[in-house]
Structure 1
Amino acid sequence: MKKQPHYPAIAGTIFLCLRHTGFLSLFLLSVTVCAQQTTLVTGRILRASNGEPLVGASVIIKGSTRGTITDQFGRYQITINRPVELIGRFIGFQDMVQPALPKGNRSLTIDFRLVSNDMQLRDAIVSANRVDEYLQKVPVAASVISQRDLERRSTYNTLEALNNVPNLITDSWLSSQASFSIRGLSTVFDNVGFESTVALYIDDAYFSRSFAFNSTLMDIERVEVLRGPQGTLFGKNTVGGVVHVISEKPEFANNGQIELNYGNYNFFQARAKVNRELIRNKLAVRLTGAYTRRDGYINDKIPTIEAVNKTDFYGFRGSALYTPTPKTTITLRGYYGKDGDSENTFVYSSKPDNDPVGVAADKGLNTSQNVPNTFTRQQYGTVAKGEFKLGRNTLTSITAFNNSVDTYFGDNDVSSANVSLWGRTQQLQNISQELRIHSPRDEKFSYIGGLYFLNEQVGAIDTFSLQKDFLPVGEAILEKHVPNGELFTSEGYTTNSTIQSRSMAAFVSGSYELTKRLRLTAGLRFTTEQRRLSYWQQISNQFVNGQPLGLIDIYAVNVGEKSTPVERNADNNVLTYDLGLDYRFTPFMMGYAKYVRGFKGAGFNTSVTTDPDGTGLVFKPEFVNNYELGFKLKPSERTRFNTALFYTDYINKQELLDQGTRVRVANAAKTQGWGIETEFSGILKNFRVDVATGYLHLRYIDFPFGTDELGSPVNYAGNQLLKAPNITVSVAPEYTIPITDQFRVFVGMNINHTGKAFNDISNSALVARQAATIVNGRLSLAPRNGKWSVALWGKNLTNTLFIQHGWEYDWGNQIAWSRPRYMGVEVYLNFL
C-alpha cells in the first residue's frame, strides 16, 4: 500500500524554510494580492443632453465613504478590488448608478451620462473676484442668469436675459443697441464722449460704449450682473455695476445643437453650434452662428419706408481650447457680427398744448415719416486667454481687440412734416491687456493682483439738417419774421469728434480668515488715464441775396475747423479701494458688510454746441461712496435666498441731458439714495419659482442747472434720477409635468413689473416711462435626456405698451414704444 504524505509536517517544513530564508513576508503578500486583485476604474461624467463634461462631479462607491471628483475634462479614476456599484453625482442632475465588475480585469472604463434634475437648484457660478466661485460664497450683490434660465425663458437677446434682475431695467430705442440701468445708473449711446456707467464685458473683454455691445445671444454659458461699484477688480467705469456675458468654452467632447424659431412679425431666428475634440484631452474647437430677422412693429404708411423697417442680423463666433500640459490652458475666441436694417420704435406725439408744425400726433403704433430709418453695424474682435498654474497660484493673461462701426440716418422729427433729418457714424476700436495672479480662494490668506492696460480710439460724425417745415418753429423761437423765409429749404451742421484714450491700472485684493467664520477683505486700485479730444463743428447756411437765413444758428455755431480742430485733454490719477467683512453663521448662511470707493473718469461733450470757444466740451469725473449689507442663505438644495441693502453717495455725478437737438453731460454736485434687493428661488416637487424684488430711492441733493425763462436759478434738487424706477418685481413660476417615463411637459411664466421711471433729469411726465407689467410664457415638450424640445412661447401676452424713451423737441415730442405682444414656436435638437 502506497504511503500517504504527512501534509502538516510538509507545511511546517515549508514555513520554517520560508521564515529562515526571509521569504515569508513576500509569500504572504503574494497570497493577499492574488486574493484581492486591484482594478483601476476610469471614465468621464458627461451631460446627457449634449455630451459636455461635468467638472467637479462626484463618483462614490455605493455603501462606502470612498470616492473622487472629476477634473476639468470631466475625467475620474478610482480603484476597486471587488464587484461594487458606482454612483455618479452632480448638483442639479439625477444620480446615476453603474455596476463595476472587475472579473479579473486590471482596468475598466465606465462613463456616466447624467440627466438634469429639476428637483434641485444648481450651484450658480460667478466670477465677481475674477475667479470662478459659488455664488453663495461670494460677498457681492450678484445675479447669475444661467444657460438653463436662458432656455426656459425663451431668451433671444441680452435685453430679455436681464428682465429678472432686481433694480435693473433695459431699453433699446435704436436697432440692436441696448441701454442698461443698474441701481439708477445707466449706459447710453447718445454721446461717444460719455463712457458707460455700467461696465460691459464679453468673455473678459471690456466695452466702454454700449453701442459696441452685441445684444444677440449665441453660445452663452451664463450672464453675470454685479450690482454696485466693482472698481477694484473690474476697473474702469463700474460705479453702477458690471454686466458680464460669458460664452461657452470648447469642451473635450463631440456635440452640437440646432435651434429654430418662428413667430409673428415675420420673426425668424436660427442658431447653431458644433463642438469637436481634435486632439484627445488637448485641443477642442467650437463654432457658433446666429441669424435673426424680424419686421418692425411700428407701421409706416409709406410702403418704401415700411419695407426697411425690420431687424436683420447675422453673426459667427469661433473658439479653441488648448491644454498642452495639465498646468496650462489657452483659450482663443473670435467673433463677427453684422446688422443690416433698422427696426423703428418712434412715433410723433406732438405737444399737449399745440402742434408746432401743424401735424396731429400719431395714433398708437402708426406713423408717417419722410425718410426711412436706416442702420448698419459691423463688429469683430478677438480674445486670447492663457491660464498657467504656478504651484498653487494661477497666472492669467487676457489680450483683447474689438472693433465696431455703425451708421444711422433717419427722420429726426419722426412726423409727416418735413422738419429735420439726423444721422451719425460712430466707431470704437480698442486693444487691452490684463495680467493677474491669484492664490486658491479657500486658503487662510488669499489674494489677487494684477496690471491692466487699455488703448482706445472712439470717433463720431453727426450730420443734422433743418428742412422747410421748420420755418414756423424757427420764427416762434426767434420771435420774429425771417426775411425771405418762404425760400428756405435746408440748413445744417456737421460735428466731428475723435477721442484717443489710454488707461493703465495696478490692483490688488486680499482676503484673510480672522477666525473660522469671520473673513476680512480689502482691495486697492490705482488708475491713470489720459484722454484727448479733437473736435470741430461746421454749419452750412442757405444764402438768399447774399445773406444767410441763419436758422441753424439756433442750434449750432462754427467751432474749429477740419484742419485745425479744437483739442481738449482729460486726465485722471485716482486711487480707489474697498473694505469688507463676511461672517459665516453656518455652512449655508453668510452675512457681509462692505464699503467701496469708486470713480468714473472725466469725459467729453461731443454733441452739437452753441459755444464757439468749446468751453463746455469737458465734464468732471464723478466719485461714489457705497455702503452695503448683504445676507445669503441656502438651507437646502431646493431653496436659496439672497438680499442686499445699500446706501450710495455721489459727488459730481455725470448725467446725460437730452434736450432735443442738444445732448450734453453735466455734473450733479451731490446725489444720494438707498435701495434694497432680494432674490429667492425655491423648488417643491415639480414646481419651481424665482422671485426678485428691488426698491430704489435715489434723488439729486444739489443739481444747479442754469436759469429759467424769467432768469431765476434752476436746481433739480429732489428730482428722481433718470431711469431709476422706485420698484422692480419679477416672478418666474414653472412647472414640470412628467407625462411618461421618457417625456415631460414644461409650463413656465415670467412676470415682470417695473415702476415709473423718468427719461430726463427734469422728471417730465410727458415722456416718462409709466409703470407696467409684462407677462411672458412658455410651453414645451422634451424627453428626459434633453436631446430635443418643441415649444410654444409668447412675449407680452397682455399686449401692454409703455414708453421706453422720449424726447421733447421744439417742433414736438417723440416717444419710443415698447414691443407689443409677439408669439412663436421653437424647435431645438442636441446631437452628438
Structure 2
Amino acid sequence: MNITLPRFGTKHNTCFRAVFVLLVSLASLQSLKAQNSTIITGRISRASNDEPLVGASVFIKGTNRGTITDQFGRYRISITQPSELAVRFIGFRDQSKAVRPTPDRRQTIDFKLISNDMQLSDIVVSANRVEEYLQKVPVAASVISQRDMERRSVYNTMESLNNVPNLITDSWLNSQVSFSIRGLSTVFDNVGFESTVALYIDDVYFSRSFAFNSTLMDIDRIEVLRGPHGTLFGKNTIGGVIHVVSEKPELANNGQVELSYGNYNFFQARAKLNREIIKNKLAVRVTGAYTSREGYIKDQVPAIEATNKTNFYGFRASALYTPNPNIAVTLRAYYGKDGNAENTFVYAGKPDYEPLGIPADEGLHTNQSVPNTFKRNQAGTVAKGEFKLGRNTLTSITAFNNSVDDYFGDNDVASANVSIWGRTQKLKNVSQELRIHSPRDEKFSYIGGLYFLTEQIAAIDTFTLEKDFMLIGEEMKGEPIPNGQLFNNEGYTTNSQIHSRSLAAFGSGTYELSKKLHLNFGLRLTSEKRTLDYWQRIRNQYTNGVPFELINIYAVNVGSKNDPVRREANNTALSYDLGLDYRFSPYLMGYAKFARGFKGAGFNTSVTKDPEGTGLVFKPEFVNNYELGFKSRFSERTRFNAAVFYTDYFNKQELLDQGTRVRVANAPKTRGWGVETEFSGMLKNFRTDVSMGYLHFRYIDFPFGTDDEGNPVNYAGNRLLKAPDFTFSVAPEYTLPISEQMRLFFGMNINHTGKAFNDISNSDVIARKAATIVNGRISLAPRNGKWSLALWGKNLTNKRFIQHGWEYDWGDQIAWSRPRYYGVEVYLNFR
C-alpha cells in the first residue's frame, strides 16, 4: 500500500510519518496475532418478514465484548470458552443462545427477533470515531435518535438539541446560528472566529456554523459530545462536538413520504427512496425536502412583510457499494437552497431615552424601512471507504463543501431610516482523513491516523448610515453639523479573505488493566497555517467640497483591494487526554478523565477604526478539563448517566459586539464547573426522558480596554455569554393500544432554560430571560409503522423570550423567539 502524506514542512512531516508508521505497525501486529478462538458469524433479521436489522447489538453476556450488525444484518464475534451470546435491538425482544468453541473454530448462528415495546434500546455513538454502545463509552454524551426526532416533531438541527443538558441554541437567520455547550458557544457574527463547538455531518468537519443549520433530511441520529474532544475530533472542540449522522443506503427496497402543514402557512414535504440495484452489493438512496413558512414578526409595510418568510428546498443522494464483506464504499452528495429567511428582530429603543424620537416596537410588530432579503446555496460531496485488514479496519474520508449566503436588510430595524447593512459569506473546503482502528474488544484497542484540511473563507460587509442618523451624529460629536439637512448617506465596505491549511496526526488507545479497569489515553499533534487578507474602504458624502465624515465615527480606510493588509496565524499544538474507567458490573461504569483542548488563533474580520490593522489577530486558547462520571443501566427499562466537571481556560477568545463597534480580546483566565444528568425510564406503555444541567462559569481576569470615558474595563466576575445557569427538560410519552393493530401516542417535551447573557458585558437589556417551552404531539399509527397521522404543537403556552440582541447608538434591537405554532403531519412508509 502506497500512502502519500501532504507536504507541510520537513520537521512536521517527519513527526507525522513516524506516528503513522507506528500505527500501521501496531495494526500489522494485531492482524498477525494468533487467536485460539472460535469465530461465530450469523445474520439478525425481523421475524415477521426476514428483513435484516442493521445496528443490532450482539454481545457475550457477563463481559464488555460485543459488536453490531452491518448493512446486511450480519455480525462476527469470537469466543474462547463456553458463553451465552445475546442479541438486542430497539423495539424487539432480547434473544440469547448458549455457544461453545468448536474444533473447526467456526460457527454460524442466526437470530430472528420478535417485536417488543417494553425495553429501552441500546444507543450507538461514535465518540471514539467507531460505533460503540453509549453506556460503554467513558464520555459525557447525548444521542438524539431518529425515534426521538419523529416523536418530538423535530424539523431542523436546532430543534433536535432541545433536550441536551447544558446546551442552548439560538438564531436570527438560518445561517446566523449559535450552538453553546457548557457555556462555550459558536460566534455567528464574525467569519474570523472558528466555532468553539465542532460541527460534523457524516464525519466531515464544518468550521463555521453559517454552513451548518438547515432542514433535516434522512437523519439516523445526532450525537452531542460535551467537553473537549481534541484527540479524535480536532482542535476546535473546546466546548464539544455536534455530529449529524445520515441514514446509510440499505441493501433493500423502501421509502417514505412525509407531509406537514401548520399555522403561519407552514408547509413541509420530505421524502426518501432506497433501492437495491445489485443484490447484496449496490444500493442507492435519494432524499428531498421542501419547507415554506410566513414570518411571525409582522411588518406594517406590505412590501416588506411580503419578503418575511422561509423558503428552502434541498436533496441528498448516496450510494453504497460492497463488492465483498471486506470493503464498503459510500458516496454522498447534497444540495440546499434558501430563498428567504424570516425576520426575527424588532426595535427596542433604549431603556432610558428614545434617541430616534420614536417609540419601541410593541410585541411581534415592527415598522422597518428596508426589506430583509436572504439567499443561501450549499453543496458538497463525501466519499468514505472502509477496508478490513485482518481484524482491523482502515477508513478513508474525502470531502468537499461549498456554502455561499447573502443578507441585506434594515440595520436599525426601525421606521426611521438610520442604517442599512449587508453581508456575503463564502466557505469552501477540502478535507482528507485516513484512520485505522482495531476491534474494541481487544486487550489493547486503538485508533489513529492523519487529517488534512484546506479551507477558503470570505466575507464582504457593506454598511451605510442614512439621513436619519444625522441627529445621532450631532449628539455624538457634541455640536451641530453644517448643512446637516443635506446629508443622504455615508458608508464602508469591509472585505476579508482567509486561507487556512491544517494537518494533524492522532492516536488513541484503551488498555485493559484488568477485566474491570481500563486505561484510556490519546494524543493529537496539530499544525496549521492561516492567512488573512483584509481591506476596508469608507465612502464619504461631500457638500461644497467638505465631507460630513459621520462614517468616520465607526470606520477608517485600511489597505486596499489591490494592496490588502495581510496577517498570518501559525500554530502547532498538542491536544491530549488521559482517563480510567471501572466496570463495577456489566450495568454500571464509573470514569475519571482529563482532557487538554486547543483552539487556534483567529482574525477579527469586522469593522475597525485602526488604520494599521494591528488588532486583526487574536491569540489561540487552551483549556484543561477534569471530569468524573458514571453510567448505569440497572434494568432493561432504566438508564441513568451523570457527570461533574471543572474547566480552566487560558486566553479564551471573546468578542464584544455592540452594534457597529466590534472588539476582540483574549480573557487570560476563565474558570467554572458544572453538573449534568440524564435519565430514561419505561413502564408498560409509558416512557420518560429527563435531563438536567447546571453551570457556574465566570471570567477570573478579563481586561478589555477602556470605556467611552477612558476608564479601564475588566469583566472579571461576569458570566460567559450564552451560558445559562440551569437547564432542565422532561419528555413524557404514553402509547395507548386501541386495538390489536392500532396505537395512539401522546407525547410532551418540556424544556426550561435559565437566564443567559447575549454579550460578555452582561447587558441585562438584551439578555435571554429564563423561559419554559412546552411542546406536544398526538399521533395514530398501526403497529407495523406503515403510516402515521399526527397533530403537533410547539411553544403551546406562547412563551416569548429574547434569542439575541445588540446595543446600538440609535437604540437596541432584539430577536424574539418563535411564538406558538402547530400543525398536522402525515407520513407513509412503503416497500
TM-score, structure 1 as length reference: 0.90
Report Cα offsets for 1:784-826 as digits up to 9, x if no partner.
1111100000000000000000110000000000000000000
The aligned residue for residue 759 of structure 2 is 760
Distance in 2 between residues matched to 1:248 and 1:812, nearest whole Å: 47
* Alpha-carbon offset, residue 113 of structure 1: 7.5
> In structure 2, what is the Cα distance between the partners aligned to 1:678 and 1:109?
39
Give the superposition deviation at 1:741: 0.6
Assess, with a 3 A threshold, how the Cα gap between structure 1 residues 89 and 434 changes in structure 2: closer, same or farther: closer
2:154 is the alignment partner of 1:155 = yes
Give 1:328's aligned residue: 327
Distance 1:70 1:823 in 2: 39
- Return closer, same or farther for 1:741/1:58 CA change in 2, 3 Å cut-off: farther
Give 1:220 shift.
0.3
Aligned position for 1:352: 351
CA distance change for structure 1 residues 781 and 227 in 2, over 3 Å: closer, same or farther? same
* 1:94 corresponding residue in structure 2: 92
After the TM superposition, which residues 743-754 of structure 1 pair with which residues of structure 2 at under 5 Å, given as runs? 743-754=742-753
Encode CA deviations 1:732-770: one digit per residue, 9 max, x unaligned: 000010111100100000000000000011111100000
Residue pair 2:88, 2:94 contacting (<8 A) in 1 also: no
Whether 1:696 and 2:695 are equivalent positions in the alignment is yes
Cα distance change, pair 262–544 in 1 and its aligned pair in 2 (3 A):
same
Tell me how far apart the structure 1 counterparts of residues 59 and 711 of structure 2 sit (CA, whole Å). Answer: 75
Match of 1:45 in 2: 45
Structure 2 residue aligned with 1:722: 721
Counterpart amino acid of 1:93? G
- Name the residue aligned to 1:22: none
Q: Is the 8 A contact 1:56 1:72 kept in 2?
A: no
Alignment of 1:80-119 (within 5 A): 90-95=88-93, 115=115, 117-119=116-118
Partner AA of 1:45 in structure 2: S
Counterpart residue number, 1:481 = 480
Question: How far 1:178 moved relative to its partner?
Answer: 2.3
Q: How many angstroms apart in 2 are the aligned matches of 1:732 and 1:323?
A: 40
Partner of 1:306: 305
Q: How much has 1:447 moved relative to structure 2?
A: 0.8
Matched to 1:492, the amino acid is G
Aligned to 2:601: 602
1:773 maps onto 2:786 in alignment: no
47 and 660 in structure 1: CA distance in 2 versus 1, 3 angstrom threshold: farther
For the residues of structure 2 that align with 1:465 and 1:254, how far apart are their CA atoms?
A: 56
Q: 2:811 and 2:771 mapped to 1: Cα distance?
A: 25
Distance 1:48 1:414 in 2: 59
Shift of 1:484: 1.1
Amino acid paired to 1:207: F
Q: Is the 8 A contact 1:50 1:831 kept in 2?
A: no
| C-alpha spacing 1:225/1:363, structure 2 compared with 1 (3 Å) | same
- Distance of aligned partners of 1:807 and 1:177 in 2 relative to their CA distance in 1, 3 Å threshold: closer
Q: Is 2:190 the partner of 1:180?
A: no
Counterpart for residue 103 of structure 1: none
Partner in structure 2 of residue 792 of structure 1: 791
3-state secondary structure, aligned to 1:340:
strand
Contact 1:45 1:70 in 2 (8 A): no
- Report the counterpart of residue 132 of structure 2 in structure 1: 133
Letter in 2 for 1:686: N
Q: Deviations over 1:613-634 (max 9, x none)?
A: 0000000000000000011001
- 2: CA distance, partners of 1:42 / 1:184: 46
- The residue aligned with 1:368 is 367
Q: If you compute each CA radius of gyration, which structure gives the higher value, 1 or 2? A: 1
- Give the equivalent residue in structure 2 for 1:20: none
CA gap 1:420/1:622 in 2 versus in 1, 3 angstroms: same
Aligned partner of 2:54: which letter?
L
* Paired position in structure 1 for 2:416: 417
8 Å contact kept, 1:53–1:252:
no
Partner of 2:590: 591
Deviation at 1:383, TM superposition (A): 0.6
Structure 2 match to 1:393: 392
My pick for the range that moved more, 125-134 or 653-662, is: 653-662
Mark the CA change 1:73 to 1:587 in structure 2 (over 3 Å): closer, same or farther: same
Corresponding letter in the other structure for 1:459: A
Match of 2:470, SS state, is helix
Query: How far has the Cα of 1:57 moved from its partner?
Result: 6.1
Question: Secondary structure of the equivalent of 1:461?
Answer: strand
Judged with a 3 Å threshold, the aligned counterparts in structure 2 of structure 1 residues 347 and 734 are, in CA distance, closer, same or farther, namely same
Answer whether contact 1:96 1:112 (CA < 8 A) is retained. Answer: no
Contact preservation (8 Å) 1:520, 1:581: yes
Give the match for residue 54 of structure 2. Answer: 54
Rate the CA distance shift 1:497–1:713 in 2: closer, same or farther, 3 A: same
Distance 1:111 1:519, change over 3 A: closer
**d(CA) in 1 for partners of 2:613 and 2:216?**
41
SS in 2 for 1:233: helix
Q: Deviations over 1:697-722 (max 9, x none)?
A: 00000000112344321110000000
CA displacement at 1:51 relative to structure 2: 5.3
Match in the other structure for 2:504: 505
Residue identity matched to 2:828: L
Q: In the alignment, which residue of structure 2 is the partner of 1:641?
A: 640
Instruction: Give the superposition deviation at 1:610.
Output: 0.4
Q: Secondary structure at the residue paired with 1:731?
A: strand
Structure 1 residues 59, 214: closer, same or farther in 2, change over 3 A? closer
- Alignment correspondent of 1:167: 166
Displacement of 1:664 in angstroms is: 3.6
| Matches for 1:274-289 after TM superposition, within 5 Å | 274-289=273-288
Q: Is the 8 A contact 2:312 2:336 kept in 1?
A: yes
Gaps of 5+ in 1: 1-40, 61-67, 78-86, 98-107
Say what the alpha-carbon RMSD is for the aligned residues.
Answer: 2.3
Aligned residues with identical type, % of pairs: 75
Q: Do the aligned partners of residues 476 and 51 (structure 1) sit closer, same or farther apart at CA in structure 2, a change above 3 Å counting?
A: farther
Q: Shift of the alpha carbon at 1:58? A: 7.0
* CA drift at 1:189: 1.9
Q: Give the TM-score, by structure 2 length.
A: 0.90
Gap change, CA 1:59 and 1:682, over 3 Å in 2: closer
- Checking the alignment, whether the CA contact within 8 Å between 1:807 and 1:813 is kept in structure 2 is yes
Q: Which amino acid aligns with 1:92?
A: I
Matches for 1:645-664 after TM superposition, within 5 Å? 645-664=644-663
CA distance in 1, matches of 2:47, 2:616: 55
Deviation, structure 1 residue 663? 2.7
Counterpart position of 1:266:
265
For 2:213 and 2:269, how far apart are their aligned partners in 1? 17
CA 547–54 in structure 1, closer or farther in 2 if over 3 Å, else same: same
Task: Tell me, yes or no, if the aligned pair for 2:71 and 2:250 is still in contact at 8 Å.
Answer: no
Give distance in 1, aligned partners of 2:656 and 2:109.
Answer: 65
Q: Which runs of 5+ in 2 are unaligned?
A: 1-40, 61-66, 77-84, 96-107
Distance 2:474 2:593 in 1: 57
Q: Residues 392-435 of structure 1, C-alpha deviation per residue, up to 9 Å, x if partnerless?
A: 11100000100000000000000000000000001000000000
The count of corresponding residues between Structure 1 and Structure 2 is 769
Q: Work out whether residues 181 and 197 of structure 2, in 8 Å CA contact, stay in contact via their aligned partners in 1.
A: yes
Q: Which moved more, 1:791-800 or 1:117-126?
A: 117-126
Q: 1:421 to 1:701 in 2, by over 3 A?
A: same
Are residues 483 and 114 of structure 1, via their aligned partners in 2, closer, same or farther at CA, if it must alter by over 3 Å?
farther
TM-aligned CA deviation for residue 485 of structure 1: 1.0
Conserved 8 A contact 2:313-2:337: yes
Q: Secondary structure at the match of 2:304?
A: helix
Q: Distance in 2 between matches of 1:190 and 1:526?
A: 29
Helix, strand or coil at the partner of 2:154: coil
SS at match of 2:340: coil
Shift in Å, 1:109: 14
Aligned with 1:734: secondary structure?
strand
State the shift of 1:316 in Å. 0.3
Residues 652/42 of structure 1: CA separation in 2 closer, same or farther (3 Å cut): closer
1:208 aligns with 2:196: no
Cα 1:157–1:109 shift into 2, 3 Å: same
SS of equivalent to 2:231: coil
Alpha-carbon distance, 1:352 to partner: 1.1
Distance 1:782 1:244 in 2: 30
